[in-house]
Chain A
Amino acid sequence: MIKIENLHASIEGKEILKGLNLTVNAGEVHAIMGPNGAGKSTLASVLAGREEYEITAGSVDFDGNDLLEMSTEDRAREGLFLAFQYPVEIPGVSNVNFLKTAVNEIREYKGLEPISAKDFMQKVREKSALVELDSKLASRAVNEGFSGGEKKRNEIFQMAMLEPKLAILDETDSGLDIDALRIVANGVNKLKSPENACIVITHYQRLLDYIIPDFVHVLYNGRIVKSGPKELALELEEKGYDWIKEEVDSVNA
């Protein structure tokens, strides 16, 4: 699905990713954890195509395409989805209208006819139920006046509407109470299939009680320094990150 090799990225001259390697196959869920400032959100931003970041080395292969050569919208059209850590409020732009434009531009890209209004509304009803998002919210302006939990549910609703091959959840759990967390996780789990994959970026183990990862990676200082099964997340929760930092720093010293 996606193969990241030796990825280096910097912003304003400061190197954040320093040779990151990661391979995710269809049907897998990978969790990326790590301390503040490790580069977790940078990874998400670079994969989604944020232009502030400069890629200085490395490659990303996404289903046979050179991801780094693609525009943000083409990445989305090829099936990459980023659930934002801080979803943007867009006054005056209705959620449903913009999603319809998005769905149709993606369909056009794939050489498909536009979706009918009836099918689209059917899908809106179905998918908003999935994340228990009030259908009134679905038709309101994008994220405007939404609570933190509603914004995150809206991200998962959009993900459900766009049916991506690879979803990247960037700290989707931050700012969520336990009920919202359960709803968001349920949504993600219901969308899981052998054909798609998911990268869950998180600071805490909590989300991983609900979304069970196949692999857990620790990102520290711009690299993945440790990978393991889901039990690694529990170990991190118990022991914190310091032991890993020490391990890495002693090797580098």
Chain B
Amino acid sequence: METIINTTKLDVFRSHLTPTAINLPSAIVQEVNAVLDQTDFPTTRQEAWKYTRVGKIAAISAQQGITPSDDTSFPIIDQEAYTIHVVNGQPIWTTAQDKLPQGVHIKTLSSCNEAELQQLFEKKIQGIDVFQALNIAYLTDGLFITVDENVSIDHPIQLLHLNTTDSQVSNVSHFISAHKGSKASFIIGSLSSANSNSFTNSSLNVHVAENATLTIDKLQVEEEGNLIVSNELVTQENGSTFTINTITLNGSLVRNNLTIEVDGTNCTTNLNGAYLLKGNQHVDNHTVVDHKQPHCNSNELYKGVMDDQSTGVFNGKVFVREDAQKINAFQSNGNVLLSDSATINSKPELEIYADDVKCSHGSTTGQLDEEAVFYLRARGLSEASARQLLVSAFISDVLDKIENDAVGTFIDDVLSNRFGWQR
């Protein structure tokens, strides 16, 4: 009898990775490895990955554990924010730990004990996919952030991720727990400076407790050629407000899985996204808003502009569960294609099991209004200025929702440097 052992792409990919050194409970590590042993990278035959090929990720021969020298200076988005850089998966305290505001606690996962890790990770392993399993099995490190009850933070906390060498693979996992009545904002940036094939597989769990308000500005501006898969799971309790603005301006392959479980009444949820793509970029936003409780509002607005051969994917799903009456859920995805070779796959989905709700969803795709371009040119604007003005007007709906001026300025700088646009 002959035994055939099929070596999967995932096996090859894993052979270059170093198993996690974080003190995770062995049962959890065993379980995620069991998941990885039984599967392979997703293919386009799977609905969730229908438009996104992960071959570029599978092909990486990972480099790990390269530590940059201490005197390297890393980019900062908001000078006033409390800053932690996560370089090649390793946290660096740019703002000293003792300079953090009162009522905010941040510790690295590598400094957590097994009991704490058990608590953080036990729920994470239910029904996980390949990337989430890889994230845990090869976890580089991450942060566990707590904002105490009724604490309001004066400036945002910014977590800035960078891979500094080609083929660096970083598996990073963060936890944010915003306690009752607290108010905080975060900037989460992916700013890899490696030239190509660095891959950040990140995971973020957010808990927004009763009457807490939490805002995340998420900026993905990697050097072209780098890859990101990002999984976010947010849970909201009664009376909480959660806002996330996901802005993707560079990077060769970006996949965002954003799931928000609204498990409380009187919650507000805002999801805004903007993606401006060119070259061969591929950006895929999958979002889920799951309304489990009544009397909540959610607003989702994603807008994209695709140039050259770039591809955008938007898949937004809203669930309204049976007991979730009096829900207002709005979802909209708008796209502009600037070239004949650019593509967008947009799929808005609603699943409603309650009968007293107001929900809407819509998706539009078009080109710039040529009559408007002509009108502006007839007033003396160059064709480039006319097009830029129209694109800016289109995307500004989303960008204007960002309240942090430093983040706005950072985005404007990228628009100007990368796209030659002024807003």
Chain A interfacial positions (CB closer than 8 Å to B): 48-50, 71-73, 75-77, 81-82, 84, 87-88, 90-93, 98-99, 101-103, 105-106, 109, 141-142, 158, 162
CB contacts (< 8 Å) of A71 on chain B: these are: 377, 383
Cα(A73)–Cα(B383), bound, Å: 8
B380 adjacent to A90 (CB under 8 Å): no
B381 adjacent to A105 (CB under 8 Å): yes
B379 at the interface (CB under 8 A from A): yes
B372 at the interface (CB under 8 A from A): yes
B4 at the interface (CB under 8 A from A): no
Interface string of B271-290 (1 = CB under 8 A from A): 00000000000000000000
B385 adjacent to A72 (CB under 8 Å): no
A92 adjacent to B380 (CB under 8 Å): no
CB contacts (< 8 Å) of A75 on chain B: these are: 378
A93 adjacent to B390 (CB under 8 Å): yes
CB contacts (< 8 Å) of B377 on chain A: these are: 49, 71-73, 76
A99 adjacent to B379 (CB under 8 Å): yes
A105 adjacent to B380 (CB under 8 Å): yes
Chain B interfacial positions (CB closer than 8 Å to A): 369, 371-372, 374-383, 385, 389-390, 392-394, 396-397
Whole-angstrom distance between the Cβ of A89 and the nearest chain B Cβ: 8
Cα(A50)–Cα(B385), bound, Å: 18
Q: What 7 new A-B contacts, CB under 8 Å, besides A72-B374, A90-B375? A: A73-B380, A82-B378, A90-B390, A90-B393, A98-B379, A102-B381, A105-B380
Which residue in chain B gives the minimum CB-CB distance to A94? B393
Q: Which of A87, A93, A106, A142 contacts B380 (CB 8 A)?
A: A106
CB contacts (< 8 Å) of B385 on chain A: these are: 101, 105
Query: Across chains A and B, which 10 residue pairs bring their CB atoms closest together, nearest first?
Result: A92-B393, A76-B380, A72-B377, A88-B375, A102-B379, A102-B380, A106-B380, A93-B393, A73-B377, A90-B372
Whole-angstrom distance between the Cβ of A70 and the nearest chain B Cβ: 11
Whole-angstrom distance between the Cβ of B344 and the nearest chain A Cβ: 19
Q: Which of A77, A98, A106 has most B Cβ within 10 Å?
A: A98
CB contacts (< 8 Å) of B383 on chain A: these are: 71, 73
Given contacts A92-B393, A93-B390, A98-B389, contact A87 B375 (CB under 8 A): yes
A92 adjacent to B397 (CB under 8 Å): yes
Cα(A192)–Cα(B257), bound, Å: 61
Q: Which of A71, A93, A158 has most B Cβ within 10 Å?
A: A93
Q: Which of A91, A92, A106 has most B Cβ within 10 Å?
A: A92
